Homo-oligomer: A and B are copies of this chain.
Amino acid sequence: MNKTIVLQKRPFGPLKADNFKILDDRTPKLEAGKLLLRSMFFSVDPYMRNRMNAIRSYVDPFKVGEPIEGDAIAEVMDSDHPDFRPGDRVTGSFPWKEMMCIDPARATKINDTGISPTAYLGILGLTGLTAYFGLTDVGKIRPGEQVVISGAAGAVGSVAGQIARIMGCQVTGIAGSEQKIQYITDELKFDRAINYKSFPNIRKALAKTNPDGIDIYFDNVGGDVSDSVMYFLNPHARIVLCGQIALYNQSRISTGPRLNAQLIVKRARMEGFIVHDYKDRYPEAIEDLKKWIMQNELSYRETIIEGFSNLPSALMGLFKGENIGKMIVGVA
């Protein structure tokens, strides 16, 4: 038996348990030239919600009746490829299955033994890389700038804020619980923080935290939080559009104030990006990120939920803000 989670039906509005179905699939066998893998950890990420819709964005939608797929760490159980041996650990985008037989081209071997393999789903994986390229390449961050991060205690936000600090910037984090605020200020050393749930007038809060305005806004959330930031942009500010998690679960297009005139007055730039476009430059980024971890400049936390069957609830939990740092499901 081989537990598998498929998209049972497409969501309309918030994700619900019945969008998913757990099946007992056949136990796979090693095929010629392939790898037999046993899943260890799955990453759940906000963008996966969008793949559950029927619309193609930058990746194809999941198909109804087919397994959900996401970044994962797995162990090689058997191999018919010379580069992989049983016991090797690999990372890649894999289906939500306990075991699977896959093409070796889809797996990258983790050779690093100095860091937990789950780091390759977060700080050294796509979320860390997203924070890195978003700030440096899209945001063109410069020392001494005023940086605001929304979703600041999340997987990407927590890394982005620390990179901004390492780059010599003043960092304000916006997050949704006292525990998260404490985390980003005490442990991650953000300069200032706003709990948007206990202080819903974010404009007033920002007026206090950011008397010198905002040069870079790293946006993970969209919606009201992001609208408020628009009033504090400095000339030539950059808005790095990374995610809009506040909007992904909505069944209708959300409406809000039209604030593009702020971008004109401030000669500001708002730009979306997708980390996959930086594939060629991942090694340089991973080198920097590892260096900062070794120097204790960059710390990270993971929210690990145990149990393959908890994958759907872990994904749903992202949209309720249940995670601090990277949300991961342990399935070994």
Q: By the criterion CB–CB under 8 Å, are A258 and B267 in contact?
A: no
C-alpha spacing A101/B142, complex, angstroms: 46
Write out the residue numbers on chain B whose beta carbons fall within 8 Å of the beta carbon of A244: 258, 260-261, 264
Q: Is A189 an interface residue (CB 8 A)?
A: no
Q: By the criterion CB–CB under 8 Å, are A257 and B253 in contact?
A: yes
Binding-face segment, A268-276, A301-309, A313-321: A268-276
C-alpha spacing A261/B248, complex, angstroms: 9
Q: By the criterion CB–CB under 8 Å, are A222 and B258 in contact?
A: yes
Chain A, residues 199-238, CB within 8 Å of chain B (1/0): the string is: 0000000000000000000010011001000000000000
Q: Is A293 an interface residue (CB 8 A)?
A: no
C-alpha spacing A258/B250, complex, angstroms: 11
Q: By the criterion CB–CB under 8 Å, are A241 and B263 in contact?
A: yes
Q: Is A242 an interface residue (CB 8 A)?
A: yes
Number of copies: 2
Chain A, residues 251-288, CB within 8 Å of chain B (1/0): the string is: 00111111111111111111111100100000000000
Measured between C-beta atoms, what is the minimum distance from A299 to chain B in Å?
A: 27
Write out the residue numbers on chain B whose beta carbons fall within 8 Å of the beta carbon of A198: none
Q: A267-B273, A268-B271 are in contact. Are A258 and B223 (CB under 8 A)?
A: yes
Write out the residue numbers on chain B whose beta carbons fall within 8 Å of the beta carbon of A269: 269-272
Q: By the criterion CB–CB under 8 Å, are B257 and A263 in contact?
A: no
The residue of chain B having its C-beta at the shortest distance from the C-beta of A57 within the complex is: B265
Q: By the criterion CB–CB under 8 Å, are B261 and A247 in contact?
A: yes
Q: By the criterion CB–CB under 8 Å, are A258 and B263 in contact?
A: no
Interface residues of A in 73-121 (CB under 8 A from B): none
Q: A223-B258, A257-B253 are in contact. Are A264 and B270 (CB under 8 A)?
A: no
Known: A256-B256, A260-B272, A263-B271. 4 other contacts (CB 8 A): A222-B260, A244-B264, A253-B258, A253-B259
In the complex, 5 of the A-B residue pairs with CB atoms within 8 angstroms, ordered by the A residue number, are: A244-B264, A253-B258, A253-B259, A260-B272, A271-B271
The chain A residues found within 8 Å of chain B, CB to CB, are: 57-58, 219, 222-223, 226, 241-244, 247-248, 253-274, 277
